[in-house]
Structure formats: C-alpha cells, structure tokens
Amino acid sequence: MLKTRRGNVSSETIQHYIETKGDNMQLTYVLELLKPTKRKQNIFLNNIAEVVKNRQFVADKLKAGETKLSSADFKEINLPSAVKNQNIREVKALYKLFLKSDSNKDNLEFKDNQPICYNNQNYKIDGSIISIPLYTTKCQRFAFPIKQTKRFEELQQYIESGCKLGKASLFYKRGKWYFAVTIKISDKETTNSNVMGIDIGLRQLAVASIKTPKGKEINRQFHNGKQAGFIRKKYRSLRRKLAQSKKVKAIKTIDDKEQRWMVDLNHKISRQLVNLAVQEQVGTIIMENLENIRNTAKSLNRAGSTTKSSYRTRRDRNLHSWTFYQLQQFIEYKAELAGIKVEYINPKYTSQSCSKCAKVKKSNRKANLYSCECGNHIHSDLNASRNIANKYSASVS
C-alpha cells in the first residue's frame, strides 16, 4: 500500500491555506507566540488600536479621492512607518473590492481586532525567534520566541531550503498571540522516471539505491552510522556519570546537545541524498513506512517494566525511531521542493528478501552481509534499499 505522509499531515492541520498561482504555491503558517509578558501584550494592544485608526484614515482619504498616500500623511498615528505603508497597501486593495461590491455602506469600516501587517522586508525569523518593529514612545524592534510545533518545523525546512517569505501579520485570538507567515513554494513536479530506494537504519544511517524504470542500478550512496554511534556512546557514558551524582539538570543539557547534533546530521544526510536524486534525475523517492515501528516502541514504553536494564534499551529505541522519523521528514521536505515525489512502502521483508531473486530467507542476512544461494552477495543495507526500490516498481507496473 502506498501513501504519502504529507497528505495526512495537511488534513490534520486546520489553519493551513493554500493558494496556487502558476507554478507557485503560497502557504500560510499560523505560528503561536510563547506567552508574551503583560508589558509586551500592552504594546501589541496599543499598536493594534493605532492600526485601526490608521486604516480608517486611509479609507477616508481614498474616499475623498486622495490616492497618492505615504506614511508621511499619517504623522498623528503612532506606528512604525513600515506598518503604516503596509496599512496603505492593505486598505487600497480592500477599497477596490469595496467599490466593486454592492455594499450599501458609506465606506469601509474596521473592527477593533485588526492584525498588524508586515511585508517581507520588515520582519525576520531567526531560529525560533521572530523580530518585528513596534511603536512604544518611538519605533523599536522586538523579539518574540515562537512555540515549537510540527508546523513551525515544516516552515523552518522551507526557509532553510531557500523559499521566499511573503507577508506576515500579528494578531490575537481567544487570549493567544499568533504570527501568520506566508511563504512561496515552487509547485513543479518532475517527469523523471528513475527511482531512489532509501533504507534507514543504525549501522548505516541511510543507504540509497537508484534504479532506472527497467530496474538497472545507476548509482548508490552510503551514510554510515559510525560517527553517530560514537557520539551516542560518548553522551551515554556522560549521562551515566551524571546520574550517579544525581545531576538531573546537567543530564537534560546533555540530552539537548545530543538531540541538536542528531538534527544537524539529519539535515546534512537528507541534503546529500536529495542532491544525488536531483543529479540522477530521480522522479520518486521510496522509503519504508516506519510508523508501525514507532507505535511498537511507544506501546513497549507504556507496558514495559521499569527495571533499570530495560530502561536503556527502551530509551535508545525511542531515540532511534524519533531520529529515523525525522530523517525521513527532512528527506520528504527537501525532495518535494525539488519536485520529487515521496512514497512509503510496507517494510515487511525488505531486509530478509534477496534483491536479485526475491527469495525470503531470514538467515541470509548476517550483520552487514546479505548472502543468497543465487549468488547475490552484497551489503545487507544496500540489499534492503534495492528491495525498497523494487517493491515500489512492482506496485506501479
């Protein structure tokens, strides 16, 4: 069974608007700010009150026939000039619509809860911090941390891949503060027909095999897990020492460090895999659907005993499934931006069957080597990645 994971993700998310223009798709990401201090919330509210005034003034001037407007025309309004200019643009667009409509109102009217809008020159996203100009007693830049969510991670992926940011707006709803960002994404899809199968694991973090539609392997790529294993061991022994001296906070710091290191590695590996896919004219990347594995790890965690010896293996298993899943996601985002489709197949038997003669025999796999009676003797993870590519080809032909 084939399915794209992205399809599932977007149906789960409610505030997700898509606009298509030619080959470009514009997405809006609504990000929640971590709760700002009372002082900062008051600054927001004061600015919003000024935006309401500003917009009404712009509409009034437009109605009076004044169309050449700039921020200098609104000196009495306490807002950064970037926000005033954006207000002029927004209201001009709204006014055009108003004239076309058959409204019996005299002019545009603005409700109290107007968003503060910025164009892409006037806000910045740096890591998980956004910075925007606001008015206090003068124009000032403020920085706000954004709540880390899956959606935000997705946006960061797009930014990292060089997508252009568009307009943004700050607003509140039911006591929470949000920053909505639009981003332009290329919506092209390649017509290439080569297929890349990727096997993800521990000894080899990723092994890719690229095949033509006729099944001939034209290239491969290995990312071995030696360095990751070494780092894991280093942190594990550090953790053990800290646990003996009951330094809980220090353990948390170590965990975060290890996690950041893995995220960084996943970025590098996914980048190299997708670059190779582009180079070799791959149209579809195939990976295993590891969701079942993740669920198993979770349920083991819940039902499992709490003895010390099992803690480590469970902790490791969760860590692995988390980082495997993340690597797949990074590959998926980067591939989609290159116009490459991503499909998932059922992982059953991919490591046990022979990629040459299709025979399933568990004992043929011994650690790094897959050895079959038909004469196929290859690296076991390469064997798996070939099977992944084969399985997909079989399901579409």
In the complex, the residues that contact Zn ion under the rule CB under 5 A are 354, 356-357, 359, 372, 374, 376
Q: How far is the CB of 147 from Zn ion (least distance, A)?
A: 51
Closer of 34 and 357 to Zn ion (Cβ): 357
What is the smallest separation between the CB atom of 218 and Zn ion, expressed in angstroms?
21
Q: Which of 16, 84, 24 is nearest to 50 (CA)?
A: 84
> Which one, 109 or 373, has the nearer CB to Zn ion?
373
Q: Least distance from C-beta 377 to Zn ion, angstroms?
A: 10
* β-bridge mates for residue 183, sequence order: 27, 165
Residue placing its CB nearer to Zn ion in the complex, 26 or 393: 393
Least distance CB 378 / Zn ion (angstroms): 10
Least distance CB 293 / Zn ion (angstroms)? 26
Nearer to Zn ion, 46 or 371 (CB): 371
Closer residue to Zn ion, CB minimum distance, 314 or 356? 356
Tell me the C-alpha to C-alpha distance, in Å, between residue 143 and each of 84, 123, 146, 174, 341: 20, 10, 10, 22, 37
Q: How far is the CB of 216 from Zn ion (least distance, A)?
A: 17
* Nearer residue to Zn ion within complex by CB, 3 or 359: 359
CB of 348 to Zn ion, least distance (A): 18
> Left (φ > 0), alpha (ψ -120 to 50) or beta: where does 44 sit?
alpha
Residue (4 or 376) nearer to Zn ion, CB: 376
Shortest distance (Å) from residue 281 CB to Zn ion: 29
Other residues' Cβ atoms within 10 Å of the Cβ of residue 138: 7
Q: Are the C-beta atoms of residues 198 and 388 closer than 8 Å to each other?
A: yes
Q: Which is nearer to Zn ion, 128 or 376 (CB)?
A: 376
Nearer to Zn ion, 18 or 374 (CB): 374
The minimum distance between CB 373 and Zn ion, in angstroms, equals 6
